[in-house]
Amino acid sequence: MIESNLTEKITAMRGSMEKTSVNTDALNTVVEHQADKINNDNETEQARKITLASIMNNNKVDYRFSEFSQKMSQSYDDIIQYAKDAKSKHVESSFIKENVNKMLNELKEAYFDNIDFQLEKIEHDKKLFSENYQPRNPYDNPLVELLKRQDFKANLESVSKANFDNYIDNLDFDKLSNYEINLLIAKGRSFESPNTNKIYAFKLEKNKLKPYQNTETWKTLISNENQLNILKQQKQQNRINRIQVATKNGKIRSIGFDSQYILDQI
């Protein structure tokens, strides 16, 4: 019995008992406690969903397309523009180079400071995402889950041996529960389908990971973390000459930290 139905039944009982002059103090306490519990659960669930939505919105794309990356691209263009303007005003080339070097070093420092910040943020987001991904109750509505299982089972039972493999090919395994996958494996074995091994292999792979690790958000977090750690390691080894950043129109460009390259282009 779900909580809302329980509250409705208790409330109905209370009304009936009041008509017969029965003391309802104890029942009032139960109803109030039930209402408080439902409200608290709803508030907790809402906070959980807001946290997840925030993390998912902030981790939809890889780090190169971030707003900071676009600002880096614009700053690089500003440095080029400075060099062009200075040259057109016949400023001493050694002075231009000195200033361009300085600006490029500041740009490079800002880029790697941001990498450290992003890695810390990713670690924080991973922790929040893993803690909030699963609802406190695995089924928001047990009755809905039961009907969903019955519907899946009924559909599967209507599939013939001849159509089973085609049925499997049109399923998105990532969206199936363990219960549904187990039904598919049992059905596949009864049909002696070669796809049974494919389903079982997916189950084994899926069960290696926790549910949140199968999401696109988690995969993006891990991908960004790996790429940023590679860049951080290259910086520590002094092997960074160029980086990839995004332009405002969403394209990736490569920019370098060699002042002579800029001076040769103007």
Tell me: do 146 and 203 sit in the same domain.
Answer: yes
Contact 33, 16 (CB under 8 A): no
Is 163 in the same domain as 209?
yes
Give this prediction's pTM: 0.53
What pLDDT is recorded for position 72?
93
Which residues in 103-133 are b (16+ Cβ under 10 Å) and which e?
bbeebbeebbebbeebbeebeebbeebeebb
pLDDT < 70 regions, the chain: 1-44, 60-61, 134-141, 207-209
Per-residue model confidence as pLDDT tens digits over 220-248: 899 989 988 988 888 887 777 888 898 88
Asked if 86 and 178 sit in the same domain, the reply is no
End of a domain among 58, 82, 102? 58
Domain check: are 40 and 172 in the same one?
A: no
Same domain, 128 and 235: yes
Question: Do residues 147 and 196 share a domain?
Answer: yes
User: 125 and 236: one domain?
Assistant: yes
Residue 257 domain boundaries: 63-133+216-265
Residue that is last in its domain, among 19, 36, 58: 58
How large is the C-alpha radius of gyration of the chain?
A: 30
Residues 117 and 148 in one domain: no
pLDDT at 81: 96
> Are residue 81 and residue 126 in the same domain, yes or no?
yes
- What confidence score (pLDDT) does residue 43 get? 64
- Count how many domains the chain has: 3
